[in-house]
Structure 1
Amino acid sequence: MFKKLLLIICIVSPFTVIHSQDHHLNKTHKNDSYDEKGEFEEGDIFVSALFGFDSETKGNEKDIAVEFSGRLGYLFSNTLTGGIKLSLDNEIIEGTLHKNIDVSHTLIGLFGRYDFTPGHKFSIFGELGFDYLSSKSKDGNLEIKENGYKIGLSPGITYFLNKHFAIEAFWGALQYQTKKVNGEHESTHEFNIGIDFEHINFGLAYKF
């Protein structure tokens, strides 16, 4: 299992900064007080991201993996959120048995959330995602490419540290995915359920 050492980072673009300034200037005093508590409300924009690095050595074998994933979300109401997500990861395996195996994955998708406890610093949500997947594996002169789709449902929590920053955690997933190697006619179909602590991911969110 891919073990992650999470170093949280935040993404801030000029466009979202300008939008957030206008957004907060138009708030009423009541909504300003609401924001001071550190919760999501209708009209908010947020970004969340994580960066993971993992290095494992066993004898002459060395496995190095790097992962980045991020989300950009917009609250259509206090309970409903929609947005886009991107995930990139790369793994290199070196050693006597494996000579520079390079595996990379890309995920681009859409997500929707429903917040079961709106108006709280600590909130519980369910997230439904639909993703496009692509991967490439190189082992010497051999190169294999795959493409596919995934749909998944996972629970998560958000805890606000202050009115802008929050910690996100996702654990477990109910997902179905289909992939096909380029040049082949048959696809591979997978149905997975992961609900243990090996399937927890943490990230940092910033609300504008």
Structure 2
Amino acid sequence: MKKILLVGAVALFASVNAQETETVGFNKGNTFMTGAVGYSSQKEGDFKNDSFTIAPSVGYFVTSNVAVGARLEYMNATATTKVLDKEFKNKSDVFTAGLFGRYYWMPASRFSIFSELNVNYATAKTTVDNGIGGTIDSKANGFGFGIAPGVNYFLSKNFALEASVGILNYSSVKPDADGAESTENFNIGLNLRDISLGLVYKF
């Protein structure tokens, strides 16, 4: 009797495990959406800085381990300061569009690791209060690429938590003005400020 119960328990575990493998995780042909929404506010004396970011992404598994996708991002930042009881505001709007490719290890399991290569193009507009009742507008354009490893953990068949961190980033930004020169920036290494957290929906 004990042997029968043991065999039955093993068979039940194998059946549940097989069903989980079929329903949880990523497979070829899956489409997923992910993204992040963030708000931050910093105040120090008469200076205050508020920023809002929204960054949706969509990806598609062309093979069981490789996914390709596209990403959009919008960020709005407003810096406010007071001088002699007069308030000045500087505003920035940044739009980013990019493409990415990912390679996944163990994509068909509840927990998976991936490595992402991304390329992005951005355009920014900044409005500065000139202090005499008017404003000065400036624009800039730039591009960049980065490498970001990450992890996924499925909470259910369709929803997963995602975390990634940029370990290599390059960007080049050029003001939209005659004679302006580009500013280049290159970073490599682990920076906790570059950690991104999000929720993934698979369908």
* Class of the TM-score when normalised by the shorter of the 2 chains: 0.7 to 0.9
Contact 2:97 2:121 in 1 (8 A): yes
2:79 is aligned with 1:93: yes
2:189 is aligned with 1:200: no
Unaligned stretches of 5+ in structure 2?
A: 1-17, 130-134
Shift of residue 51, structure 1, vs aligned partner: 0.6
Q: For 1:155-207, what per-residue CA distance to the aligned partner results, in whole angstroms no more than 9, with x for missing partners? A: 11111100000011111331111111011432111111241222211000100
User: After the TM superposition, which residues 30-179 of structure 1 pair with which residues of structure 2 at under 5 Å, given as runs?
Assistant: 34-36=21-23, 38-96=24-82, 99-140=88-129, 141-179=135-173
Identity of aligned residues (%): 33
CA distance in structure 2 between the partners assigned to 1:193 and 1:103 by the alignment: 26
CA RMSD of aligned residues (A): 1.7
Q: For 1:12-43, what per-residue CA distance to the aligned partner results, in whole angstroms no more than 9, with x for missing partners? A: xxxxxxxxxxxxxxxxxxx976442x200000
Q: Which amino acid is 2:53 matched to? A: E
Contact 2:146 2:166 in 1 (8 A): no
Contact 2:175 2:182 in 1 (8 A): yes
CA distance in structure 1 between the partners assigned to 2:166 and 2:120 by the alignment: 17
Q: Which amino acid is 1:154 matched to? A: A
**Larger Rg computed on CA atoms:** 2
> Helix, strand or coil for the counterpart of 1:198?
helix
Matched with 1:6 is none
Name the CA shift for 1:149/1:171 in 2 (closer, same or farther; >3 Å): same
Unaligned stretches of 5+ in structure 1?
A: 1-30
CA distance in structure 2 between the partners assigned to 1:47 and 1:125 by the alignment: 15
CA distance in structure 2 between the partners assigned to 1:113 and 1:81 by the alignment: 5
TM-score normalised by L of structure 2: 0.82
Name the CA shift for 1:156/1:33 in 2 (closer, same or farther; >3 Å): closer
CA distance in structure 2 between the partners assigned to 1:50 and 1:35 by the alignment: 28
Q: For 1:51-103, what per-residue CA distance to the aligned partner results, in whole angstroms no more than 9, with x for missing partners? A: 10111221221111100001100000111000100011111011115711101
Name the CA shift for 1:66/1:171 in 2 (closer, same or farther; >3 Å): same
> Helix, strand or coil for the counterpart of 1:112?
strand
